[in-house]
Amino acid sequence: MTDFENLKNVCSSCTKCELSKTRTNVVFGRGSSNPDLLFIGEAPGKNEDEQGIPFCGRAGDNLNKLLEENNVDINKIFIANILKCRPPENRDPKNEEMELCTPYLIEQIKLLKPKIICTLGNFSSKFVLANGNIKEMKKIEGITQIHGKLIEINFQGVDVKVVPIYHPAAIIYRRHLKDDFFSDFKIINNLLKEEN
Note the residues at the interface with ligand SF4 (CB under 6 A).
Answer: 11, 14-17, 19-20, 26, 83-85, 97, 100-101
Q: How far is the CB of 91 from ligand SF4 (least distance, A)?
A: 13
Q: 85 or 143: whose CB is closer to ligand SF4?
A: 85
Residues 6+ apart with CB under 8 A from 25: 44, 49, 50, 51, 52
Closer of 85 and 163 to ligand SF4 (Cβ): 85
Nearest distance from residue 152's CB to ligand SF4, in Å?
28
User: Given the complex with ligand SF4, which of 14 and 74 has the nearer CB atom?
Assistant: 14
In whole angstroms, give the CA distance from residue 13 to residue 168: 28
Measured CA to CA, the distance from residue 83 to residue 90 in angstroms comes to 11
Question: Among residues 15 and 71, whose Cβ is nearest to ligand SF4?
Answer: 15
Q: State phi, psi for 57 to the nearest 5 degrees.
A: -100, -150
Least distance (Å) from ligand SF4 to the CB of residue 52?
12
Least distance (Å) from ligand SF4 to the CB of residue 133? 25
> In which order are the strands placed within the sheet that holds 77-81?
30-31, 77-81, 37-41, 116-120, 158-165, 151-155, 133-134
